[in-house]
Structures are given as C-alpha cells and as structure tokens.
Amino acid sequence: MSRLSPAHCVLALLALACEKPADTQPPAPAPEPVAAPQPSPVQRANLVAREPVGAGVLAALDTNTDPCTDFYQYACGGWLKKTPPPADKPRYGRGFGEVTDRNNEVLKAILERSAGAKSKDPIESKLGSFYAACMDEPAIDKAGIAPIKPLLAKVKGVKDANTLMTVVGGLDADLFGGHGPLFDLFVEPDPKRPDVYVAFVDQGGTGLPDRDFYLKTDERTKALLAAYQAHVARMLGFLGDAPEVATDLAAKIVAFETALAELQTPRDQMRDPDKTYNLLGVEGLSKLDPELNWAGFFKSFGYTKLGADLNVTVPGYFEKLGALLRGTDPNTLQAYLRWHILRVSAAALSKDIVDADFQFTSALTGAKELSPRWERCVGWANMGLGELVGQAFIKERFAGASKDIALEMIAAIEEAFAAGLPALAWMDDATRQRALEKAKALHNKIGYPDKWRDYGKLKLQRTGHAGNGQAIRKFLLQRDFDRVGKPVDKGEWHMPPALVNAYYNPSANEMVFPAGILQPPYFSAEFPMAMNFGGIGMVMGHELSHGFDDQGRKFDKDGVLREWWDPSVASKFETRAKCIENTYGGIEVLPAVKLNGKLTLGENIADFGGIKAAYAGYKLHASKKPEEPLIQGLTSEQLFFIGFAQGWCTHETPESQRLRATVDPHSPPKQRVNVPLAHFSAFAETFQCQPGAAMRAKDTCEVW
C-alpha cells in the first residue's frame, strides 16, 4: 500500500481558487459543431492515407451527445454501444483492454514458438519451458495439491507466536516472494539516499483487497465478508478438511484477518512518504516488540544481515502485531497459513481448485467467465519473465521511428511544462527555480531497457507449472534482497516492455513508457500528431505531473525525500490540492459509492496537470512542425481531446466499480476524462462550451 516508485502509474494506472462547487444550473444549448477547413488536394491524399485511423475515431463517437454536456459519452458512446464487454473482463476498454488483447496475441505467438522449438537458446528455452508447463492442463490436474504439500507440511511447526515467525520466514522465501502472511517485504531505493537499496517491511496479511472489506458495517460489505468466509471454507476442503472442520476454521481465519485489518492504517493515510519513512533497521524493528521473534524470521527468510537498511513503513502496526499473535491459538495460526498457501497457489493448481477460486473472484469483480488458459499463461509470463519475452515483443511491436517520435513528444511536453511555471503566481521565485531544475533533470525511458535483466540463475522445467511459479518468485526475491545496501541500478525498469502502462519513479526522477502502451489508440508513428499528443502525450504529461503531485513534490531533482519548498508556497499548493480532493470526493460513481478524494488525489492532480501539459506540448510542437487537420470534420484541437478521451472508453461491472472505489488510487475512466476537461479553458474554447455547460466548471481547480 505504501510503495511509491511504480505506484505512480497511469492506470493499476492528476487551481488558482476553489471557492464554490461546480455550477449545477442546466447547460446552455449546444453550440454548432466547429467546422474543419476544407482540405486541399495534398491534404486529401493525406486524408486517404489516414482513413482507417479516421474511421475508427469517428465510429467511436456518439454524435447525438453534446460534447459540452458529457464529453466522455460523446467521445466513447459509439464504441460503448458497438463493443460488448468480454465475459471474462470485469473492466475492459478501448485503450488498455484492446491494446492488451493485441499485445497478448503477439506474446502468445512468441511463447508458442518457444515451446515448440525446444531450443538450446537460453532465452527461448526458459520461455518454452514455462509456457509448456503452464499449458499442460492434464499434468496440472493430475498433480492436484501435490506441489504445495511440502509447504503445508512446514505449517505443522507452528506451536506459538515465536515458531510462527520462523515458519513464516521460510514460507516467504519459498513461496510468497516477500508478499506473504502477516506483512509485506520488498526492496526499493532509500527515499533519503536514492543511490542505495534498502528493505521495506509493510503492514499486510489479509486475503481481501483492503481493510474496509473487514471493518465496514453496511449490508453489502457484510455480505461480501460472509461470502469470503464461505469461500475459505470451500477451499480448505481441497486440503482434506471435513466440511464442518473447514467451516469452523474459516470463521477463525476471518476473525484473525479482521484483527489484522484493525491494526492497519487506512489506505488513504499511507500516501505521505514522510510518514512512511522510518529507517529503524532490524534492531529498531525488534524494539517495537522485543518478544516477537524477528531473529527467527530473518534467519529462515535467508537474510540476517539487513542491519540498518530496513525501513518500517507503519511502526504502529508492528508494535501491536506480536500481542495479536501471542493471543491467537496455534490451531488458528496454522489454519491461517494453510489458507494463504492455498490462496496464493490456487491459480496454478488443478482445474477444480481454479474454478472454485474463480467463484469468489467473480463475486468480488463481477467477471462472468474465467479467461482462457493461454491468456492466463501469457499474463504470468509477461509479469514474471517480462524482460525475456519482451525482447522478442519489441522487435514486432516497437520498430521503425516509434522511439524517436516518442522522445520528440516528451521533449515538447517538458519544454511546455517548464515554460508554464513562470505563470504560476502562487509560487515564489526560489521554489519555481527548483521546480524548473527538477523538470529539466527528469530522465526518460522509452520502449525497453538498454540492458536486459539477467535470468541466468533461474531454472525452469517443462513440467510442474506450480513449481515454476515458485521458482520465479524465489528468483525475484533473491535478486532484490541480495542488493540491499548496494548501489541502485539506475537502468532498471519496474515494468515489463509489453505491459500496457507507464509510471513515474520519484527516487530516480524518471518517467518510464513501456513499448506495450506505445500502441494504438495511444500512439502510432502513422497517427496525426494531434492524436498522438492527446493519447500517449496525455500519459506523458500525467507522469510528468506526478513529479509535482502531493507525493512526488516531496522528492527533489535528485530523487531525495526532503523539503525543497518554501513553507508559504507549500501551503498554497495544499490549498489548490484540496480543491481537487473536494471535487472528486463528492462524486458518486454508484448509488452510495463515492470516490475517496484523499486516496485518488495524486492521480487526479496528475490528470489535471497531464492534459494541460500535453495540450501545451502539442501547441508548441505544432508551432514548429505545422500539421493540417487530417481527419475530415475535426479540427486538430478537437482531435487532440477526442484522442485523449477515446483511450479511456471503458465497460466495467458494478462489482469492479465498487472494488476500485475502495482500493484504486485512480478515478474511474469517465471521471478521468470529464472532470479535468471541465476545468480546462482550452477544452471549452475548442468545443465552444458556453458558461453553465456541464463541461465548463464555474469554479475551476488548477495546480500546475
């Protein structure tokens, strides 16, 4: 919950005054559409070349909707009507969904070739072994729970709180990869020494996505918690527990997880990097509860020399954890561990377990079907072996002039952002100069790493899918923890090249755009530049703005967590941020389901700043390289905003909307489009939205 580096994503991927809520009077009559100039013969040739692109853009529109009333519906209504949501996708969009589908088809072909070749090439051999084992359903079904029996046997060693810590350390190392029972462990650069890796220990240990699912008392939440308890009981049956025993143990497990949830700090309060920075070291962690057997944990975990290089994100959680463990009977602790071993492993086990596990996933997300086997295997390969399969992916999906064009766009957006800083009257000159220095020091990574990750120590087999998954998690864990106390690899990527996402990393002051997202409808070397700037340009502006959101602004140009703002300027920033927080906090996405303005603040600031920076970058680029309108009926400025919005056209189940309102730091797609645009004067000018229109807020918020 507190991880900062890859958390500043565009998906999972933000005011001079805010005195009153947005105007709610009826919108003014719709203006006449802004006509594009008639094309010349040369322009007509260009239009023919862009016809497939233009046809897709126009087909996605709902021209019966006034763009000044609901721009999301105007831009996306045609796509929403013509595109049925896939039964296995609780959330599916014209951008992330369709691009992921296309990328997955490429990855599938790569993996199938590797599995069929049985090559001696080390990369192809690893990919082929993983995919062959993953797709061998008969062998997986025959194995049943055999792959996790050795892990389950370790649980019998739990006799009390002390032995529990020893057992959990071993399970973390062998199965959970640090994200196991009781708490999370991971490695990142030290926020105050960004050139050195340190370990982090964070609150965790619950099976549901957030503490609210245990602690809220409304009827829907209570029903979901009851369904979770029934799910735990059903799953324990696969481990051999009789129904009545499983039912009793499930109740105890859920009660124990509820107690863990009560110790946790709410998600929206975990966003302050100053509060989650507590470099206590192992000694300081142990002093929070001297009775808790941390020595036994780290010994079985395999890392006893972390020393001072350990950050404790929530000391209060670990002050209270030991008392809970000592007050819980060993039988419950064993059942809790058995459940989490099965929960984490379920997707890699036999079909009956996978299907049972999906029953609860369906209740939580609204997915109607399980995704095809090949698609799940491709997803696991992409996340676990991303820089192996990514090497072939970029050759097929990121060639030609793509990287040069993307870098050209980023340069324009960064230049425009810097040029806009002097206009911010709320900043003093000293803070503005430091902000300018940070913007100029920003490092960009496009497409794929300059140096690929070394997987030489990873051993995979053509049989034993669950075992391969365990091996990958263990490999990644050891790779990370072996680096604690050592210099940071500045060339490292935190996302695989084929992933449809992007991120800002504050400790390195860098933006990263994998080849996976540098695809239509976000980007193409063949697109009009207005469309590119509206699509991937907005993503670039979004990530750039993360460097100056409520979290990113606390890191200086070198990635050091320190105060570099004048106090009076910081106070003015908070006032403008509060405007955005209040604007989103009042939005009801479903009956009785409101957005959390605090949780989504950083992403919303990045959305507000992103669209402004992308538009300014486009206008700057167009002033140097003019481009006539290339989709008939639309001006280039209109195409910019439509290109932005159409990347967010999305179907989503009510269950998924409720879940994301609790756990997702991003606002829903419709709000990500409509709210920033309603506060952006250039949008109103482009579509001639009159005062009083829904898409022209009366009292606007602005930060950057």
Catalytic residues: 543, 607
DSSP 268: G
- Give the Cα separation of 347 and 335 in Å (integer): 20
Q: Is the peptide bond before 330 cis (omega within 30 degrees of 0)?
A: no
CB distance 528 to 627 below 8 Å: yes
Dig out the tokens for 251 from the structure: 């109740």
CB distance 71 to 695 below 8 Å: yes
- Give the Cα separation of 574 and 578 in Å (integer): 6
- Give the Cα separation of 684 and 697 in Å (integer): 10
- Helix (H) or strand (E) segment spanning residue 451: none
The values of phi and psi at residue 679, to 5°, are: -100, 5
Q: What is the DSSP string of 288-321?
A: HSTTS-HHHHHHHHT----TT-EEES-HHHHHHH
Burial of 539 (C-beta count, 10 Å sphere; 0-12/13-18/19+): buried
- Give the Cα separation of 205 and 257 in Å (integer): 7
- Give the Cα separation of 8 and 542 in Å (integer): 9
- Give the Cα separation of 472 and 469 in Å (integer): 5
- Helix (H) or strand (E) segment spanning residue 266: none
The values of phi and psi at residue 634, to 5°, are: -130, 135
Residue found under tokens 């565009």: 10
What does the chain come to in residues? Answer: 704
Contacts of 120 by beta carbon, 8 Å cutoff, 6+ apart: none
Interior angle at CA 140, CA 337 and CA 334, nearest 5: 10
Cα of first residue to Cα of last residue in the chain, in angstroms, is 26
CB distance 385 to 455 below 8 Å: yes
**Smallest Cα–Cα separation from 156: which of 260, 86, 224, 239?**
239
**How many other C-beta atoms can be found within 10 angstroms of the C-beta atom of residue 199?**
25
Contacts of 191 by beta carbon, 8 Å cutoff, 6+ apart: 4, 273, 277, 311, 507, 555, 560, 561
- Helix (H) or strand (E) segment spanning residue 478: helix 465-481
